[in-house]
Chain A
């Protein structure tokens, strides 16, 4: 609201509702503000399930890195943070933190923290980090409202805000504790889009400027900004092709692109990619095309001769394409323009990662989306989405074209990668909101015309179109009123099912921190497995401060953040060779692995093992990825050596290499003496449901340093080499 007040003269047009003429308008405003306020609160509290069910803690893997860096930022200040060389990760390489991360999230949290402290609210930085995601989710609902208002009407805006507030697709990434880049990035994404659409609609420089800053925030927060910088030019291109080119578009795009690009270059991790990377070239091409278009427009205006203009057009377009093509070719050939990255390829071609980059394919959230998860995350929105598209096409405008394009492209990406459901969620919610709003509006106006209520027009929001409803008004059908009532009841039933589904999904599926595992005991009581933190805290307290811990990269961030120890590899998977070395060590025989570990100065090895508790996402189940990634760099490691007839087994029938590799030994060391389940032989692996094949495991170069109470994390000490006398 403050931004609006600051520049009232620029924004005259949007303030007409402020005039005090109509009392009903004030009532409507009050109603709208209170609904928005409730939605704002709802979006926040729905995300607090995780705090209620578990505790106020940071979730999963990446958030731990974000938390650690935020802590550093608040303790040491911005410049120290920006110049931080972290020697605790990627030993012995280290990591330049300032140059390899998107600082938007950390700076946001730190600013909130400093503001609160300034206002004498002495909160802990952890609480700020935990609640950042819900807070920004609440802000997103406000943006969704304005966006919905922009593309359709206020009713659609309100419905969009309500839908996005509890949509599981968004909640899955923004519950309290999910302190990840996406938490603020979705807000930034939607804000940028909203401001850009607004800019295109008004042709105002100020909105375009706002959009550029929104883009800057997005670039600072998440690598997903690439989606914006490709979608916006695509949208502009579509407008150009469909003959919707206007001065408004020219102003909006040029301002947004140039300023946004310059601002984005301030982020060190992004740097000059906007002019050097293949992924950003589309935007530049469209920018140049815009200029050509403008130039042609001008020439056309000057020439006043169609025939002459046609020839000129042909020459200019050909030469422009030629010059552009040559520039691109030369840039790519000389290496000035970098080719597309693997992740980008895998988005366009879902099978690419599986064949070429096992490290991307190994991450579960990079898998192609199953139908069930669409259903799970969108519920009724999945059916409302096509209906919304229908309404959009029926009333085509610059804004609706944008939302249609956003919806369709993001839905495609959501199908390619599970995690990108998140990006599609705002579009799906907005389009579905249009469907709901337009349907309900049509139905209620049907009811009203029958009753001859005098004030039909006045309660409608500002700028709402009456065209869609007027069509149906004139046709009278039998049982129209009853039919309308039945349909309305159906809509409300669907919406209430949606609300119930969202609450259930949030509380049951998306609120687990994945650090702490919960299970139901035999008597229905809740059993907590807190083994991860047990192990990390053990590392933190009882190992030398300079100890190096080797583990699979999944646990790297957690070990550095919670265990405060140096790790060999972590979740920032930038160096494939280093990860492959760890994979190789894990899949080699103990004495070979010992040489690798000695060369990496490893003091402790940490493995995650679910055989006692039946926890299935443990290192044995991830082991084939270690083999694949290790084998991708070191051909000594061959996947078939670990398989028997193409099957991965750990029981007696497993391959000899499997039964004696380091990972197997570390996981199952002395497991053969243990009875895990009543009526089963000793050494029965509950995660895989088999009796293990090698019960007599001897370790030569390593010794058990600690095993957690449920055996989930096992830590081994690497013995110093024996003296050669």
Chain B
């Protein structure tokens, strides 16, 4: 693999030295500092860029480039513009969206960051970029036994891939423990404790690339939710019922050979160190009627702590999860309606709820969020800060006649940073609330009238 990456890098460099980008040459990065946090299986990279306009025209936006191996694992990119000096820093969120460049070298992917105000010639701005990578730690060895520790590869470049010239840059990798088997050396590079530092590198041409591999120990829980279906059912009678269907797997090095209970319970520190047994879900405050079960019944190992800010559900799957083991379960709970349902100024109602997955430090490969609106709701529309697939369905629940409208929001590769509020707007006439009680009342009424009639009507043909 390293050899291939080198060839790739050389090719990129050759290709790039020949090509020129008119727009790209107008900007240059004076200083780039990148800190990549490898302590969990969600790789977080903090990139601080000082961008300067060296062209003649004002620049409205700039590009962030990512190698193709990363672009498909990229869960989120956020950018902030920093203004002000050290202590009075203010952050201004910038608009970031994926972008296609027709002449992208080697399938590199791009994100376009729009400046708050166009960057005039000679001006400079400091940007803070956060991007999150999932599934980027590759276990090696691929299979481990119960007593072994989990080692992983992380592949990246020692220099920041960018369509612009970078004057000066450094990259730090933070590993979860001091145990680092190896790391590619691109001088100057050194390691101190849990940190590996690459750079500083001076004056790199656009699209410079220097592949590095870090091989280190990572025993943090590789909790990957392969599929999560969350259903939020709005009842105007006062509650919001949330049902979450999880398909969880351990995404780390696969478990090999025996599972020994004796060792697992008596030598916990060295046995099954990469496995995990406890999970934590952060639920809304004032949550009630919480249940935790799976297809074959209730699971009794869970604890709920409710608080004013948030509630925490600490729970254990039926068995500890070793590499490659799977578990499916369902978490359901109820929250009071008044905390989440509001009336918009235009008379519509809207649900304000949190997107994403309540489990901490997990990756969700496929998240489907279904908002079940009350029967009789019309014109649903969802407002989210990022792009998702939207769809409408119909669901039949208790005593439904026409069915309930379901707003389906679907997103792949979801990380905890996606736990942000979203809104679903709809119109609803309160009179529909009475439909179901009236149906029940009339059914009972009918039963009593029938029995009344039955008692009083004599059906005998022959009078006695």
List of A residues within 8 angstroms of B461 by Cβ:
8-9, 12
When the two chains form their complex, are residues A541 and B326 in contact, meaning their CB atoms are under 8 A apart?
Answer: yes
* Interface pick from B58-66, B74-82, B206-214, B397-405: B397-405
11 more A-B residue pairs beyond the given contacts A20-B456, A708-B261, with a C-beta to C-beta distance below 8 A: A1-B454, A8-B460, A8-B461, A18-B458, A57-B297, A528-B300, A537-B294, A541-B325, A541-B326, A542-B326, A670-B260
A-B contact count (CB 8 A): 95
Interface centre among B265, B319, B325, B458 (most CB of A within 10 A): B319
List of A residues within 8 angstroms of B400 by Cβ:
120
**B173-197 to A contact mask, C-beta < 8 Å, 1/0:** 0000000000000000000000000
List of B residues within 8 angstroms of A562 by Cβ:
296
Tell me the complex Cα distance, A5–B451, Å: 11
When the two chains form their complex, are residues A120 and B398 in contact, meaning their CB atoms are under 8 A apart?
Answer: yes
Asked if A678 is at the interface (CB within 8 A of a chain B CB), the reply is no
Shortest beta-carbon distance, B444 to chain A, in Å?
13
List of A residues within 8 angstroms of B397 by Cβ:
122
List of B residues within 8 angstroms of A717 by Cβ:
258
Shortest beta-carbon distance, A622 to chain B, in Å?
22
Tell me the complex Cα distance, A29–B460, Å: 19
| 16 pairs of residues in contact across A and B, judged by CB atoms under 8 Å | A12-B464, A18-B458, A20-B456, A120-B396, A516-B300, A530-B299, A533-B296, A533-B318, A534-B318, A537-B294, A538-B318, A541-B325, A541-B327, A562-B296, A706-B261, A707-B260
Asked if A601 is at the interface (CB within 8 A of a chain B CB), the reply is no
Closest 6 CB pairs of A and B: A707-B261, A8-B459, A541-B326, A55-B298, A534-B318, A562-B296
List of A residues within 8 angstroms of B454 by Cβ:
1, 5
Q: State which residues 50-88 of B face A: CB under 8 Å.
A: none
Asked if A651 is at the interface (CB within 8 A of a chain B CB), the reply is no
Task: Name B259's contact: one of A8, A673, A674, A707 (CB within 8 Å).
Answer: A707
List of A residues within 8 angstroms of B398 by Cβ:
120-122
Question: Taking CB as reference atom, which chain A residue is nearest B460?
Answer: A12
* Chain A contacts to B: CB under 8 angstroms: 1, 5, 8-9, 12, 15-16, 18-20, 26, 29, 55, 57, 120-122, 515-516, 528, 530, 533-534, 536-538, 540-542, 562, 670, 673-674, 703-709, 711, 717
Asked if B220 is at the interface (CB within 8 A of a chain A CB), the reply is no
Task: Name A536's contact: one of B257, B261, B296, B456 (CB within 8 Å).
Answer: B296
* Chain B contacts to A: CB under 8 angstroms: 257-262, 265-266, 294, 296-300, 318-319, 324-328, 396-401, 454-456, 458-462, 464
Shortest beta-carbon distance, B81 to chain A, in Å?
47
Tell me the complex Cα distance, A708–B319, Å: 8
Shortest beta-carbon distance, A721 to chain B, in Å?
17
Tell me the complex Cα distance, A19–B258, Å: 78
Interface centre among B259, B326, B398 (most CB of A within 10 A): B259
List of A residues within 8 angstroms of B266 by Cβ:
673-674
Shortest beta-carbon distance, A91 to chain B, in Å?
22
Question: Taking CB as reference atom, which chain A residue is nearest B458?
Answer: A18
Question: Taking CB as reference atom, which chain A residue is nearest B296?
Answer: A562
Tell me the complex Cα distance, A8–B265, Å: 72
Tell me the complex Cα distance, A534–B298, Å: 11
When the two chains form their complex, are residues A120 and B401 in contact, meaning their CB atoms are under 8 A apart?
Answer: yes
Tell me the complex Cα distance, A5–B450, Å: 12
Interface centre among A29, A57, A541, A670 (most CB of B within 10 A): A541
Task: Name A706's contact: one of B259, B326, B458 (CB within 8 Å).
Answer: B259
Question: Taking CB as reference atom, which chain B residue is nearest A561?
Answer: B296
Shortest beta-carbon distance, A457 to chain B, in Å?
19
Shortest beta-carbon distance, B418 to chain A, in Å?
27
Interface centre among B261, B298, B319, B455 (most CB of A within 10 A): B261
Shortest beta-carbon distance, A14 to chain B, in Å?
11
When the two chains form their complex, are residues A537 and B296 in contact, meaning their CB atoms are under 8 A apart?
Answer: yes
List of A residues within 8 angstroms of B324 by Cβ:
542
Shortest beta-carbon distance, B367 to chain A, in Å?
21
List of B residues within 8 angstroms of A534 by Cβ:
318-319
Question: Taking CB as reference atom, which chain A residue is nearest B277?
Answer: A709
Shortest beta-carbon distance, B205 to chain A, in Å?
50
When the two chains form their complex, are residues B464 and A19 in contact, meaning their CB atoms are under 8 A apart?
Answer: yes
Tell me the complex Cα distance, A8–B266, Å: 75
Interface centre among A20, A120, A673 (most CB of B within 10 A): A120
List of B residues within 8 angstroms of A26 by Cβ:
455
Task: Name B318's contact: one of A120, A537, A674, A707 (CB within 8 Å).
Answer: A537
Tell me the complex Cα distance, A674–B260, Å: 12
Tell me the complex Cα distance, A12–B459, Å: 9
Tell me the complex Cα distance, A541–B327, Å: 6
Tell me the complex Cα distance, A18–B460, Å: 10
Task: Name A703's contact: one of B257, B261, B294, B300 (CB within 8 Å).
Answer: B257
Shortest beta-carbon distance, A403 to chain B, in Å?
29
Shortest beta-carbon distance, A178 to chain B, in Å?
15
Known: A5-B459, A18-B458. A674 touches B327 (CB 8 A): no
Shortest beta-carbon distance, B402 to chain A, in Å?
11
List of B residues within 8 angstroms of A670 by Cβ:
260-262
List of A residues within 8 angstroms of B396 by Cβ:
120, 122
When the two chains form their complex, are residues A57 and B259 in contact, meaning their CB atoms are under 8 A apart?
Answer: no
